[in-house]
């Protein structure tokens, strides 16, 4: 059995890497995310024209894309729309997203309740006439969207126009992925299909893919620095205290890569081990990205601690991905339950 990516997927990766390097060079991202509105709205149409929001793309195709957008710290609602809200879309919504006419995020988390997507106990309610009332927190890129997929009590999904909600920015460390508190006061909505399990599995796979990109990009900086920075007459990469950190981080990222591709395949093919695979991928990849950033900070020394260097922004994205949804400990407990009961 051949588990390699297809020639078309390899071409997609190359095209994505070239586009992001040209339109969103990593050293230019800080100026975008530290300004307002925090992203480039014109880029959404560009992504649609490139086919990144095409409904015909498979989850494996999107895994390729998200690894590259993670490495580029792409700002904007691409993750919110394609990784989070996508499983709830009907054909009409998918067409609007594909045309670049609609941006959506998922509003699920509430204060005082678990942040994962497996429970159905929410205080946000929907009345008989379809009007939604409640407050959601930690909604990714809500201000950059046209609509929100809102999870209400019982786990049902409702589509609410962002203009019918009160959106307030939260203070977050990762400016490249802004979070919001969103309140609904009898906001009109319409029902959507889709399950929270499908949303969670897809989100975990693509969060893991994004984490692979973050970890890879941090390692590239660390390896480049260790290969050129000299101390005591030798490049520092020849010292085990430096090289071992990079090797350990590289091994963790590559192991997580195998788990992420397995999870993407499992979800796409409806494999029975999909939930375990997704939990393994998300926990391993996000932890590997955090570890890679921490090790590279050590390798770079004082340079890695400066505000001007891109490394702290990669580190913040890695930390957000690790904390997103179910945490690493909860996911590993889920894996243990599945494996040993």
User: Confidence band (pLDDT; 50, 70, 90) for 1?
Assistant: very low
Q: What percent of the chain has pLDDT over 70?
A: 99
Model pLDDT, residue 89:
97
pLDDT tens figures, 243-266: 999 999 999 999 999 999 999 999
- For the chain, give every domain's residue range: 7-98, 104-192, 196-340
Question: What pLDDT is stored for residue 4 in this prediction?
Answer: 82
* pLDDT recorded at residue 231: 87
Q: Please report the pLDDT score of residue 118 as a whole number.
A: 79
| pLDDT, averaged across the chain | 95
* Distance set, CA 329 to CA 46, 69, 71, 86, 279 (Å): 38, 26, 25, 26, 10
Please give the Cα distance from 202 to 274 (Å, whole number).
10
Residues 6+ apart with CB under 8 A from 188: 130, 131, 132, 160, 161, 164
Token pair, residue 239, equals 């010292």
pLDDT at 2: 61
Same fold, 104-192 and 196-340: no
* CATH top-level class of 104-192: mainly beta
CA distance 331 to 266: 17
Return the pLDDT at 120.
Answer: 73
Q: Is the pLDDT of residue 208 over 50?
A: yes
Residue-wise pLDDT for 192-202, tens only, equals 998 999 999 99
Is it the case that residue 292 has pLDDT exceeding 70?
A: yes
Span 196-340: which CATH code? 1.20.140.10
Mean local confidence (pLDDT), 310-333: 95
pLDDT recorded at residue 285? 98
- The CA-atom distances, in angstroms, between 78 and each of 100, 264, 282 are 11, 18, 18
pTM score: 0.96
């Amino acid at each position: 059995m051949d588990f390699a990516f297809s020639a078309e997927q390899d071409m997609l990766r190359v095209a994505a890497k070239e586009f992001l390097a040209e339109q969103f060079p990593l050293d230019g991202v800080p100026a975008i995310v530290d300004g307002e509105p925090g992203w480039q709205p014109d880029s959404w149409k560009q992504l649609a024209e490139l086919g990144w929001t095409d409904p015909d793309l498979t989850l494996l195709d999107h895994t390729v894309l998200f690894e590259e957008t993670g490495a580029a710290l792409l700002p904007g609602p691409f993750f919110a729309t394609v990784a989070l809200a996508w499983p709830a879309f009907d054909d009409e919504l998918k067409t609007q997203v594909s045309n670049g006419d609609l941006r959506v995020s998922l509003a699920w988390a509430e204060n005082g309740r678990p942040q994962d997507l497996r429970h159905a106990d929410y205080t946000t309610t929907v009345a008989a006439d379809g009007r939604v009332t409640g407050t959601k927190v930690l909604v990714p890129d809500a201000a950059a969207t046209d609509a929100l997929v809102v999870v209400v009590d019982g786990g049902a999904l409702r589509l609410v126009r962002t203009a019918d909600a009160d959106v307030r920015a939260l203070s977050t460390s990762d400016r490249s992925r802004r979070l919001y508190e969103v309140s609904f006061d009898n906001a009109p909505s319409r029902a959507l299909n889709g399950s929270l399990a499908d949303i969670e599995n897809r989100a975990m796979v693509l969060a893991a893919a994004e984490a692979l990109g973050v970890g890879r990009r941090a390692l590239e900086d660390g390896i480049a620095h260790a290969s050129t920075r000299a101390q005591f007459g030798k490049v520092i990469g020849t010292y085990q205290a430096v090289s071992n950190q990079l090797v350990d981080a590289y091994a963790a990222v590559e192991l997580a890569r195998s788990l992420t591709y397995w999870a993407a395949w499992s979800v796409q093919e409806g494999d029975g081990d999909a939930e375990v695979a997704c939990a393994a991928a998300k926990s391993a990849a996000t932890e590997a990205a955090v570890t890679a950033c921490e090790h590279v900070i050590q390798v770079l020394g004082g340079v890695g601690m400066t505000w001007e260097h891109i490394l702290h922004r990669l580190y913040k994205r890695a930390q957000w991905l690790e904390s997103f949804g179910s945490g690493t400990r909860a996911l590993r407990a889920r894996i243990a339950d599945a494996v040993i009961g």
